[in-house]
Amino acid sequence: MAGVTAIEQYVIDRVREMRKQANISQATLAAYIGVSEGHIGEIESTKRNVKYTIRHLNELAKIFNCSPKDFLPDNPL
């Protein structure tokens, strides 16, 4: 994981899981939160040091009708 911490990877994996469960493409998710499709691809690939911001998590919570804390683990990693 190039520059991505365990907590950041957890968040990335959780968002990807929720995105797939909702049958939302990277392009659609990107449009919802105001970033490029490539940006979502870079986040999900974890080959680059690109991650979701707190603002992104807030917007994602609106999309998935959940709390921003739903993207975080129950315990520290």
Domain with residue 61: its CATH number is 1.10.260.40
Give me the number of domains the chain comprises. Answer: 1
Domain range for 63 is 6-70
| Residue 76 belongs to some domain of the structure | no
C-alpha torsion angle, residues 25, 33, 19, 67 (rounded to 10): -170
For residue 54, the model assigns a pLDDT of: 97
Over residues 14-57, the pLDDT tens digits come to: 999 999 999 999 999 999 999 999 999 999 986 788 999 999 99
| Residue 11 belongs to some domain of the structure | yes
The pTM of the whole model exceeds 0.75: yes
| Residue 1 belongs to some domain of the structure | no
| Separation between Cα atoms, residue 4 and residue 8, nearest integer Å | 6
Tell me whether residue 11 is exposed, middle or buried, using C-beta atoms within 10 angstroms of its C-beta: 0 to 12, 13 to 18, 19 or more: buried
| Residue 23 belongs to some domain of the structure | yes
